């Protein structure tokens, strides 16, 4: 649900931070537009937690974060469903209060509030601002789309493994393991 502002100009992060928005809801800034983020479905959280538990041991020298807040440029302030980032960037984010730029790995779980157009824009934004991989997880089809900085898009299904090469780690995760115990 987008919240329309009284101005016709997109908001900056600085203007967004000054807004008096209801604290009982989650808000993000997407391309200068204030967006209320809906409460996630249970399956959404299960998939997020599955990624956190699987990726944590695979990236021991990095941070794997659920709902990672990040500021990308001066018109976007979002939360990646799951993120993997270097410890150095995580240390800086602790000082700044937010990660500046996109995480090295962004994982977004499809939900009814996502549109293909919005996800593609977010993907381009992240891959242009520090993300090495942008992953879209479809719990309903139990498939995963991965885009890299070169623009290559690959779809993985239950028979495949998700290859991950970043932050000095080269590994893979069986797609079946990601969706283990998750039925839609």
The structural domains of the chain, ordered by start, are 39-178 (3.90.1570.10)
Whole-number pLDDT of residue 5: 47
pLDDT tens track of the chain, all 184 residues?
A: 455 545 568 999 999 999 999 999 999 999 999 999 998 899 999 999 999 999 999 999 999 999 999 999 999 999 999 999 999 999 999 999 999 999 999 999 998 888 888 999 999 999 999 999 999 999 999 999 999 998 899 999 999 999 999 999 999 999 999 999 988 7
Q: How is residue 7 written in tokens? A: 């101005």
Number of DSSP helices (H) and strands (E) in the chain, helices first: 5, 12
| Cβ 83 vs Cβ 90: under 8 Å | no
| Structure-block tokens of residue 35 | 């967006």
Residue 171 contacts residue 54 (beta carbons within 8 Å): no
DSSP 65: E
* Under 8 Å between Cβ of 74 and 14: yes
**Contact call for residues 3 and 35 (beta carbons, < 8 A):** yes
Task: Fill in the DSSP letter of residue 40.
Answer: P
Q: How is residue 63 written in tokens?
A: 């941070």
Chain-centre distance for alpha carbon 54: 16
Calpha distance 92→59 (Å, rounded): 19
Query: Structure pTM?
Result: 0.92
pLDDT at 129: 97
Judge contact between 124 and 72, C-beta under 8 A.
no
């Amino acid at each position: 649900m987008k919240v329309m502002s009284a101005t016709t100009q997109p908001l900056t992060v600085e203007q967004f931070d000054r807004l008096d928005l209801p604290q009982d809801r989650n808000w993000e800034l997407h391309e200068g537009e204030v967006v209320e983020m809906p409460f996630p479905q249970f399956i959404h959280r299960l998939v997020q937690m599955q990624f956190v538990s699987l990726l944590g041991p695979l990236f021991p020298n990095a941070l794997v974060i659920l709902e990672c807040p990040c500021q990308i440029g001066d018109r976007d302030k979002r939360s990646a469903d799951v993120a993997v980032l270097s410890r150095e960037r995580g240390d800086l984010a602790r000082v700044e209060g937010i990660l500046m730029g996109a995480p090295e790995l962004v994982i977004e779980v499809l939900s009814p509030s996502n549109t293909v157009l919005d996800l593609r824009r977010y993907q381009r934004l992240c891959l242009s601002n520090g993300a090495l991989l942008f992953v879209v997880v479809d719990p309903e089809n139990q498939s995963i789309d991965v885009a890299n900085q070169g623009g290559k898009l690959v779809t993985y299904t239950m028979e495949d493994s998700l290859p991950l090469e970043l932050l000095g780690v080269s590994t893979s995760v069986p797609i079946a393991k990601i969706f283990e115990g998750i039925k839609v």
